[in-house]
Amino acid sequence: MRRFFVVKGVFMQEVLTENTADKAERNKMGYEPVGRLTLKMGLPLVISMIVQALYNIVDSIFVSRMPGGGDVAMNALTLAFPVQMLMIAVGVGTGVGVNSVLSRSLGEGDGVKAGKIAGNALLLGLLSYFVFLAFGLFGISPYLKSQTSDAAVISAATEYLKICCVCSFGAIFYMIYEKLLQGTGKTVPATISMITGAAANIILDPIMIYGLCGMPAMGVSGAAYATVTGQFISMIMDALFHYLKNKEIPSAIKYLKPQKKIIGEIYAVGVPAIVMQALMSFMTYGVNVILIRVSEEAVTAYGVYYKLQQFALFAAFGLNNAQIPIVAYNYGMGDKKRINDGIKYGYIYTVAIMAICAVIFECFAGVIVNIFSLADETRKLCVTATRFIATGFPFIGANVSYQGIFQALGKGVASLILSALRLIVIALPLAFLFTLADNAATLVWAAFPIAEAAAFVYGFIEMRFLRRKLEL
């Protein structure tokens, strides 16, 4: 059997020993047809990511229908949302680094290193939890006061955020264990865990928010408790699946010792991924600050739209989460053809799913927005935002795919630059400039598809350069 390997960016060939080949081919990512494999791994992940989007959507739907305080509660959740996104950023970003490095190690047939990666991933997750615990205890008040002076909104948002941060252990660790499962190609167990946790959240939301089945009515606090309970259930199930099914990874428990080299490899990809994900949080915060120049209704409308957009965006990230381990595994194995196939099929599928979502959002914007109980002006702004921003969905699909490819090939900085361009560098200044126009309430939404299109140009050029460098 022959394989290719990389020396200073150039693919070379060598003959594998039977033992090495056996190791490489134990995992389906090394031999199954890539187009079929991408769908086989990707579709459960699409479902999983869409279900993840339900966490915030379901909270918002039930909270918007709270008697006598729906508008205040919705505004509170909008202001809290960037912190929740940051939490996801840390968990997912660390997981992406783990996923990429783990898949490459398995492709190389290095099971011991895979165990060390898993052990260090758990340590990093624990450190992340302590950071959010500290924020939940000491940082919430100044964060909220930087966005609003409304005492009722601050009070409700404080209730919600404190619970989510102090109890963030489940949120962070379910994402770590999920990536350990994804890194070995076991996407179905991860999806089962996510669906179970989301189902628990959906069932508990009305019970805890409105006070059903003998429970006291807890309002926004109930929404937070329902969310963290669902996340904790997902964490327990992902952990069980990992320890029962990930036999190719030695027990992470015996490798619970920080190793500088392993952590460095994880964060070579993970830190750019964390920053990249965190940029989404910063963008949402920045947009909230910018849109307040237009109106309070515009802030709420964007918060609702962004949660709706997550169904499309998370579907793209689901395919992206299949593309990363496939490309990374075969990069570790040195299989040039399978690397190219992983790039091609991941890109095509991701752009296609975002194009389909664009059509749905354009045609049914009014119907989709009406699932929330919104004031008439807020509803109109939300419909306008949905239709404007959806025009950029195909570019989002391409950009998300490029980000995953760069991460899989160890080019985390390129992925970070692409993310910064589409989320911050272009989008926020344009949005601010558009608020100066007379028709700001309509024009401001155009900043986002323009930013995605401009970032696509960078991603396309960087991808061509990377192909030439690696001779792909």
Give pLDDT tens digits for 165-178: 999 999 899 888 88
CB count within 10 Å of CB 127 equals 12
The per-residue pLDDT for 69 is 62
Phi and psi (nearest 5°) for 245? -110, -25
Helix crossing, 70-107 with 169-183: angle to 10°?
30
Stronger pLDDT, 339 or 11, i.e. the higher one: 339
The per-residue pLDDT for 15 is 39
Model confidence at 264, pLDDT cuts 50, 70, 90, reads confident
- C-alpha Rg value of the chain to the nearest Å: 22
Q: 């052990």: which residue's tokens?
A: 119
Q: 121-125, 206-210, 256-260, 437-441: which has the minimum mean pLDDT?
A: 256-260
Q: Could you tell me what percent of the chain has a pLDDT over 90? A: 28
The per-residue pLDDT for 433 is 93
Does the pLDDT of residue 19 top 80, yes or no? no
Average pLDDT over residues 114-142: 89
Average pLDDT over residues 298-321: 83
The per-residue pLDDT for 25 is 45
Stronger pLDDT, 17 or 422, i.e. the higher one: 422
Q: Could you tell me what percent of the chain has a pLDDT over 70? A: 92
Stronger pLDDT, 420 or 107, i.e. the higher one: 420
Can you give the chain as a three-state secondary structure string? Answer: CEEEEEECCEEEEEECCHHHHHHHCCCHHHCCCHHHHHHHHHHHHHHHHHHHHHHHHHHHHHHHCCCCCHHHHHHHHHHHHHHHHHHHHHHHHHHHHHHHHHHHHHHCCCHHHHHHHHHHHHHHHHHHHHHHHHHHHHCHHHHHHCCCCCHHHHHHHHHHHHHHHHCCHHHHHHHHHHHHHHHCCCHHHHHHHHHHHHHHHHHHHHHHHHCCCCCCCCCHHHHHHHHHHHHHHHHHHHHHHHHHHCCCCCCHHHHCCCCHHHHHHHHHHHHHHHHHHHHHHHHHHHHHHHHCCCCHHHHHHHHHHHHHHHHHHHHHHHHHHHHHHHHHHHHHHCCHHHHHHHHHHHHHHHHHHHHHHHHHHHHHHHHHHCCCCCCHHHHHHHHHHHHHHHCCHHHHHHHHHHHHHHHHCCCHHHHHHHHHHHHHHCHHHHHHHHCCCCCHHHHHHHHHHHHHHHHHHHHHHHHHHHHHHHCC
Average pLDDT over residues 430-436: 92
The per-residue pLDDT for 94 is 83
The per-residue pLDDT for 18 is 40
Highest mean pLDDT among 49-53, 102-106, 300-304, 385-389: 385-389
Average pLDDT over residues 289-297: 83
Phi and psi (nearest 5°) for 293? -65, -25
Q: 3-17, 190-204, 334-348, 376-390: which has the minimum mean pLDDT?
A: 3-17
The per-residue pLDDT for 203 is 92
Model confidence at 56, pLDDT cuts 50, 70, 90, reads low
Average pLDDT over residues 82-97: 81
The per-residue pLDDT for 252 is 55
Phi and psi (nearest 5°) for 16? -80, 145
The per-residue pLDDT for 251 is 65
The per-residue pLDDT for 2 is 42
Model pLDDT for residues 360-402, shown as the tens digit of each residue: 999 999 898 888 877 788 889 899 999 999 999 999 999 999 9
Average pLDDT over residues 70-96: 80
Contact (Cβ atoms closer than 8 angstroms) between residue 387 and residue 336: no
Average pLDDT over residues 464-469: 89
Q: How far apart are CA 276 and CA 420, in angstroms?
A: 7
Average pLDDT over residues 63-92: 79
Does the pLDDT of residue 53 top 90, yes or no? no
Pairing of strands 2-7, 10-15: antiparallel
Average pLDDT over residues 155-172: 91
Average pLDDT over residues 213-239: 91
